[in-house]
Every structure is written in structure tokens, then in C-alpha cells.
């Protein structure tokens, strides 16, 4: 894996550097081409702006194409030789270009260089004529082509290809007088590219019109594919692909000339670079692995006496929870740095102190909760006595001594349960038994006007709740539910599902008014927001708030009270 990483890194770096080299090389080659085109351009401008040339060419136009007399023919010949001489003078002794042609617009062409003579030729029939005339004096460069006249003129230039630069020239009145053409050998113009292309490099040059300039011989490449590759090379630092006519992957770069509009694409086979990178990465990997092995061996022996005690301490910290705070033990691992042993001892001391603090907090919380429940239950007892005495007083007014006796008999059992100090909790089953005693007492009072139903499953009866949690709600059923015409019906129903239990206390009375429900909701919300243990409650409405408070203390915020 490490070798792959090294190889990938080395490959990426090598490709980037190689692509940068190709980009720099392509720019350098293109600058050389621009310089040679600029030289051809200079030759054409030097010739057409030469005063002797302008004078000789004006006389050439003044002479007839077919002089009638011998003297005129001699004059025309001498003038033509003078034009050829001035053109060859511009080319120089080293012949910066092999050939120059001057076309007039009346059907004659004068050559200077390897082909130095005047011939009849209608320039308007040339395929490039319209483009040159439309350029209006701006240079026009023709792609590589053969020159039939030079082929016949000398064996030295046999089978040569040329790139031509053409432009129109005007007289003093800016009237177009003719066209000058400067030809350059392709092997001279692209000589530097030939040297590189002879190795492993592949080079293509094409102009803005899609004409292939290099290679100037052989089959033509897919210019559309070359344009696409050139566009990719401008957008990405490293570009690989298959150049037209090649089979293997190439790493290539491209450059575009601002002067000529030519695009140069150069590519090198990626296989050779990959092999070099692979060998380099292999050596780097071997050296790195050897260094890593030595470092690991040294680090193992140096760090063992530090890491082992730290690992043991880490395992103790990971295993720490509230259930094993007392399970602290003395470590068996020792380390050279005494600070680690001191840290372990400090951790053990902290662990024991934390356990003591938690135990104290739990004990205090339990005492506080029990005290709150006792206080709430103590509040509820007077509330119950108040309701019982009020009920007996009503029955006495109705002169029902027998019903009062039955009521007192059942209420005695309820009062015994209410006044008991054996604890603050009971099962819902016990709560139901005393609730039924209370309902029986009330049935003794109301007779057939009262019906009640108790339907609570055994699973719910086993739930432990604060004592007297149901009593206030049953009392409210009689207080508010009997304001309508009998019969009155009270139902106690229980259910459990998904680990939650529910008790429903129903009556067929008119229910609470909207104002009462809003007021009760506000008081319950105030209790939920309150951070204090208890708050003052009056006898009126105390039962529901008291029950809610005790349920919240017993079961937390999971209590749902509707």
C-alpha cells in the first residue's frame, strides 16, 4: 500500500513536471515559428515599400504586356531583370527565403530566386486570390504546398514543400497594384520540429482555418480531435490521451500563437514516463520501508515503558461508570516517568471521592423526595376530611340515619388507610380497593342513583404509585358530576402497553368549563416551570394539583396528565 502511495505521488509529480516541460517546449517551438513567419513578413514589406521597387513596378505596369517594337521589348526585359534583381537583393546573399513572386492584376507573374523570370499567369484564377484581396494588405499564409515552377527549375528543390505568405500592395493613391508572395521551405520553417519529431515526440501544427501545417507530408490528421485535445490542455495541468494516428497513451501539451493563430500540440508516450516513475517509486519505497522499520523498532523499545501504563490507565477510564466507582485497584504497570504513576494515583483518588459524593447526593435526593411526598400526603389528609365531613353534613340534612351509618362504616376503612403512616407509596391494587370502599360508601348515600364500574387489569394493579393518588379525582366526580339529574355513572379503567400504563377516571357529569380547564392548565404549567419543591395550596382545587405534584416527583417528566 505504501508503495502504491509513493508511486501515485511520484507519478503525479512527474506527470505534472513533464507536462510543464512539454508546455514550455510547445511555447518555445511556437515562438520560433512566429519568428520565422515574422521574417517572411519582413521580406514582403521590405520589398513592396522599397522605393526602387515601386519605381520599377510602376514602369512595369506602364509597359505593354506585348511590346510591338524591339526597343520596347528590350526595355521591358531590362525592367523585368531590374525587378528580379531588387527582389533578390531583398532576399539577401543567404537567401532568407528561396522564392519571391510578384503578381500584377493584368495576367503576369515575375519570379525571383530559384525561378527568376516573367511568365504569363492570370492571378485571378488562383484559389487564394479572393482571400488575399479581401485581406486588404494584411498577410495571408498558405498551408504547405508544392510549387510546380520550382520543380521544373532546379533539381535542388525537387519534391520540396513550401509555406507561402501573400499580401496586396498599393500605389500612392491606395489603389491595389499587385500581390507579393514569399515562399519558405517547410523543412526550414519546421526544421526544429523535425529534429524533435525524429525522437519519441509527436507534434502537430494547424492554423485557425483547420489546415494542417505540420507534419507537412504524409496523411492528414483529425483536426477536430486535435482541437479537442488542445482545449483540454488549456484547462488542465496534466492531460493524457491518444493523439490522431497513434495507439498508445500520450502526455501532451498545447500552445496557441497570438500572432499567427497557429496551434501546436506536442505529445510524448506515457509508457516511458510510467516505467521511469515506477522504478523511482520502487527505490523510494524500499528506502522508506527500511527507514520506517528502523524507526518502529527504536520507537517500540523507547515507548513501551510509557505506552503500556498509559494503555492500562486508558482502559480503566474507558471501563469507568457509575456502577463500578468503588472497584478501583492498584495498577501493576510501572513506567519510567513518575508523572504517569502520579496521574494513576490521582485518578484512583478522584474515583473514590466521586463515588462518595454521588452516594451522598443520591441519599440526600431520596430523603428530599420522601419528605416532599410526606408533605404532600399531609396536605391531602385535611382535604379528604373536609370532603367527608361535608358529605355527612349533607346526609344529616336529608335525615338519612341508616345511610349515614353505612357511610360511616365504609368511610372508617378509608380513613384508616388515609391516616396510615406506614409509607408514602402503595400499589394501584391497594388504591383500587380503598377507592371501591369509598364508592360503596357513596352508593350507600345515593342508592340507585349511582352506578360505578372498576375495570383495571392485574398488570396495572402491580404498579407502585404515591398513596391516595386516585382519591381526589373520585371526590371531584361527586362534587361536580352530581350537579346533573341522576343516574350518575363513574368508571375506573386501566390499561398498559409498550411499558407504559394509564388510568382513566370517567363520569357522566357536565365536565369542567373552558375557564376552569384554562385555569387548571396554567397552574399545572406553573408547577412544571417551578424549580421549588412545594408551593402553598388552598383546600379548593388542591386535590388535582397535589396528585399531579406527587406523580411528577415519583415518575419525573414522563408523567402525562390530561
Tell me what the pLDDT averaged over the chain comes to: 79
Top mean pLDDT of 84-88, 216-220, 228-232, 368-372 is at 84-88
Extents of the domains making up the chain = 49-189, 319-360, 364-558
Contact assessment for residue 560 and residue 548, using Cβ atoms and an 8 Å cutoff: no
State the pLDDT at residue 109: 96
Least confident residue range of 162-176, 226-240, 268-282, 490-504: 268-282
State the pLDDT at residue 450: 87
Cell numbers of 448, please?
340507585
Calculate what percentage of the chain has a pLDDT beyond 70: 72
pLDDT above 70 (res 514) = yes
- How far apart are alpha carbons 132 and 139 in whole angstroms? 8
- The sign one gets for the Cα dihedral 124, 125, 130, 131 is negative
Nearest in space to 562 (alpha carbons), one of 551, 554, 553 = 551
Mean predicted confidence (pLDDT) in 296-304: 75
Mean predicted confidence (pLDDT) in 516-525: 78
Mean predicted confidence (pLDDT) in 363-373: 52
Contact assessment for residue 18 and residue 250, using Cβ atoms and an 8 Å cutoff: no
CATH of 364-558, one of 3.40.50, 3.30.70, 1.10.10, 3.30.565: 3.30.565
- How far apart are alpha carbons 351 and 132 in whole angstroms? 97
State the pLDDT at residue 78: 95
Cell numbers of 557, please?
417528566
pLDDT above 70 (res 367) = no
pLDDT above 60 (res 552) = yes
Assign 380 a pLDDT band (cuts: 50, 70, 90). very low
Q: What is the pLDDT of residues 306-317, one digit of tens each?
A: 676 667 666 777
State the pLDDT at residue 419: 62
Cell numbers of 197, please?
519529431
Mean predicted confidence (pLDDT) in 244-270: 81
Q: What is the pLDDT of residues 27-65, one digit of tens each?
A: 899 999 999 999 999 999 999 999 999 999 999 999 998
Assign 186 a pLDDT band (cuts: 50, 70, 90). very high
Q: Is the pLDDT higher at 541 or at 62?
A: 62
**CA distances from residue 238 to 22, 224, 293, 378 in whole angstroms, order as listed:** 10, 20, 35, 87
Q: Is the pLDDT higher at 411 or at 186?
A: 186
Q: Is the pLDDT higher at 276 or at 47?
A: 47
- How far apart are alpha carbons 241 and 431 in whole angstroms? 87
pLDDT above 90 (res 467) = no
State the pLDDT at residue 415: 67
The three-state secondary structure class of 145 is: strand
Assign 539 a pLDDT band (cuts: 50, 70, 90). very low
CATH of 49-189, one of 3.40.50.1970, 3.30.450.40, 3.30.450.20, 1.20.1090.10: 3.30.450.20
Q: What is the pLDDT of residues 66-88, one digit of tens each?
A: 898 999 999 999 999 999 999 99
Least confident residue range of 199-208, 225-234, 513-522, 525-534: 525-534
State the pLDDT at residue 538: 45
Assign 267 a pLDDT band (cuts: 50, 70, 90). confident
- How far apart are alpha carbons 13 and 201 in whole angstroms? 20
Calculate what percentage of the chain has a pLDDT beyond 90: 29
State the pLDDT at residue 98: 92
Mean predicted confidence (pLDDT) in 17-33: 84
Amino acid at each position: 500500500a505504501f508503495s502504491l502511495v509513493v508511486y501515485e505521488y511520484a507519478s503525479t509529480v512527474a506527470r505534472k513536471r513533464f507536462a510543464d516541460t512539454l508546455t514550455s517546449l510547445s511555447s518555445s517551438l511556437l515562438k520560433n515559428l512566429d519568428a520565422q513567419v515574422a521574417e517572411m513578413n519582413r521580406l514582403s514589406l521590405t520589398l513592396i515599400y522599397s522605393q526602387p521597387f515601386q519605381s520599377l513596378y510602376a514602369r512595369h505596369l506602364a509597359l505593354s504586356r506585348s511590346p510591338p517594337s524591339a526597343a520596347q521589348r528590350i526595355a521591358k526585359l531590362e525592367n523585368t531583370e531590374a525587378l528580379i534583381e531588387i527582389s533578390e537583393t531583398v532576399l539577401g546573399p543567404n537567401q532568407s527565403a528561396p522564392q519571391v513572386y510578384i503578381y500584377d492584376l493584368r495576367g503576369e507573374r515575375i519570379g525571383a530566386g530559384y525561378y527568376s523570370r516573367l511568365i504569363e499567369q492570370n492571378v485571378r484564377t488562383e484559389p487564394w486570390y479572393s482571400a488575399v484581396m479581401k485581406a486588404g494588405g494584411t498577410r495571408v499564409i498558405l498551408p504547405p504546398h508544392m510549387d510546380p515552377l520550382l520543380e521544373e527549375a532546379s533539381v535542388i528543390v525537387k519534391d520540396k514543400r513550401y509555406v507561402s505568405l501573400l499580401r496586396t500592395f498599393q500605389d500612392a493613391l491606395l489603389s491595389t497594384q499587385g500581390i507579393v508572395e514569399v515562399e519558405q521551405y517547410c523543412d526550414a520553417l519546421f526544421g526544429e520540429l523535425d529534429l524533435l519529431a525524429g525522437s519519441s515526440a509527436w507534434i502537430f501544427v494547424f492554423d485557425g482555418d483547420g489546415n494542417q501545417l505540420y507534419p507537412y507530408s504524409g496523411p492528414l490528421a483529425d483536426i477536430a480531435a486535435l482541437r479537442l485535445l488542445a482545449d483540454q490542455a488549456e484547462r488542465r495541468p496534466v492531460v493524457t490521451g491518444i493523439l490522431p494516428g497513434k495507439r498508445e497513451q500520450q502526455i501532451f501539451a498545447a500552445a496557441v500563437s497570438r500572432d499567427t493563430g497557429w496551434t501546436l500540440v506536442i505529445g510524448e508516450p506515457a509508457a516511458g514516463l510510467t516505467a521511469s516513475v515506477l522504478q523511482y517509486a520502487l527505490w523510494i519505497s524500499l528506502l522508506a520501508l527500511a527507514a520506517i522499520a528502523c524507526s518502529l523498532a527504536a520507537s517500540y523499545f523507547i515507548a513501551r515503558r510509557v505506552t503500556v501504563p498509559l494503555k492500562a490507565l486508558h482502559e480503566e477510564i474507558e471501563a469507568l461508570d457509575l456502577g463500578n466507582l468503588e472497584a478501583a485497584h492498584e495498577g501493576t504497570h510501572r513506567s519510567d516517568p513518575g508523572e504517569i504513576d502520579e496521574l494513576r494515583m490521582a485518578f484512583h483518588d478522584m474515583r473514590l471521592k466521586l463515588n462518595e459524593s454521588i452516594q451522598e447526593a443520591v441519599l440526600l435526593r431520596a430523603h428530599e423526595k420522601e419528605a416532599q411526598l410526606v408533605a404532600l400526603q399531609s396536605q391531602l389528609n385535611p382535604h379528604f376530611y373536609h370532603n367527608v365531613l361535608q358529605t355527612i353534613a349533607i346526609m344529616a340534612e336529608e335525615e338519612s340515619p341508616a345511610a349515614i351509618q353505612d357511610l360511616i362504616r365504609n368511610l372508617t376503612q378509608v380513613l384508616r388507610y388515609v391516616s396510615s403512616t406506614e409509607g408514602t407509596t402503595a400499589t394501584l391494587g391497594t388504591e383500587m380497593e380503598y377507592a371501591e370502599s369509598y364508592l360503596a360508601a357513596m352508593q350507600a348515600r345515593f342508592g340507585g342513583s349511582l352506578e360505578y364500574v372498576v375495570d383495571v387489569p392485574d398488570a396495572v394493579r402491580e404498579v407502585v404509585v404515591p398513596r391516595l393518588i386516585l382519591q381526589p379525582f373520585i371526590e371531584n366526580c361527586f362534587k361536580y358530576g352530581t350537579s346533573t339529574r341522576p343516574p350518575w355513572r363513574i368508571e375506573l379503567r386501566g390499561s398498559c402497553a409498550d411499558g407504559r400504563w394509564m388510568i382513566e377516571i370517567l363520569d357522566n357529569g357536565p365536565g369542567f368549563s373552558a375557564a376552569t380547564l384554562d385555569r387548571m392548565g396554567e397552574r399545572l404549567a406553573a408547577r412544571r416551570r417551578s424549580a421549588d419543591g412545594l408551593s402553598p395550596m388552598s383546600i379548593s382545587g388542591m386535590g388535582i394539583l397535589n396528585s399531579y405534584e406527587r406523580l411528577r416527583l415519583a415518575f419525573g417528566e414522563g408523567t402525562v396528565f390530561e
